[in-house]
Copies of this chain bind each other. A is one copy, B any other.
Amino acid sequence: MRVIVPAGEGRAVKVSTGQRVRVTDLDGGQVGDVFAFAADDVSEHLSASHTRAAISRLFPLVGEQFVTDRRRPILTLVADTSPGRHDMLIAACDPARYRALGVPGFHASCADNLGESLSRLGLACPGIPQPVNVFMRIPVADDGRLSWLSSVSRPGDAITFEAAMDCVFVLSACPQDLVGINGHQPTPLAIDLITQGESER
């Protein structure tokens, strides 16, 4: 099953244990904010800070797992055809972020996209966890400085997760067009839901 996530919008899909979710950067250079919640209780969510503690890394390697705020594995990183520049340090963009960047009125945001995506599945948003920002390039210098660089993912690059529990997977095609992370032109992403036994291609 393929779900297209239009530029600047979000979508949520339910994923069963063992199913895989592939996120494809259709046009290249586009950041995706990923959130994941336990299907039976969305107050349990993928947690960046618990994941870092579990793996002793800033971002999992292929084969490593993301865990929840209750330290249970929720997603395994199983494949990555991109240059592997992803971020797990930065909060989701939200209305306050765009106000601070000088936008006077409404601006789409990953935080709003999360709420709307869950709402379409009939779920209330339990808060805005720190996302996993796939294809987002935020290098860390030796002195702890972070740089905000343009994504280097190429058209068709993909990162694939396997569900370690029944979960709700949310992807926002980040609408950020003021900071240069998306090259100022947000583009769509695709979610492919792959059941074990089907081709991973």
Within 56-73 of A, Cβ neighbours of B (below 8 Å) are at: 56-59, 69-71
| Interface residue? A140 (CB, 8 A) | yes
| Binding stretch for chain B, among A75-83, A88-96, A165-173 | A88-96
Also in contact, A59 and B144, with CB within 8 A (given A49-B89, A89-B49, A91-B49): yes
| Interface residue? A178 (CB, 8 A) | no
Check A100 against B71 for contact (C-beta < 8 Å): yes
4 new A-B contacts at CB < 8 Å, known A48-B49, A53-B91, A130-B130: A52-B89, A57-B145, A58-B146, A71-B97
Kindly list chain B residues whose C-beta atoms are within 8 Å of the C-beta of A42: none
A-B contact pairs, 29 of them (CB 8 A): A47-B91, A48-B49, A49-B89, A49-B90, A49-B91, A49-B130, A52-B89, A52-B90, A52-B91, A52-B146, A53-B90, A53-B91, A53-B97, A56-B145, A56-B147, A57-B145, A57-B146, A58-B140, A58-B146, A69-B91, A69-B128, A70-B96, A71-B94, A71-B96, A71-B100, A127-B127, A130-B130, A140-B140, A142-B142
Complex alpha-carbon distance, A96 and B127, angstroms:
22
Interface of A (DSSP majority class): loop
Binding site for B on A (CB under 8 A): 47-50, 52-53, 56-59, 69-71, 89-91, 94, 96-97, 100, 127-128, 130, 140, 142, 144-148
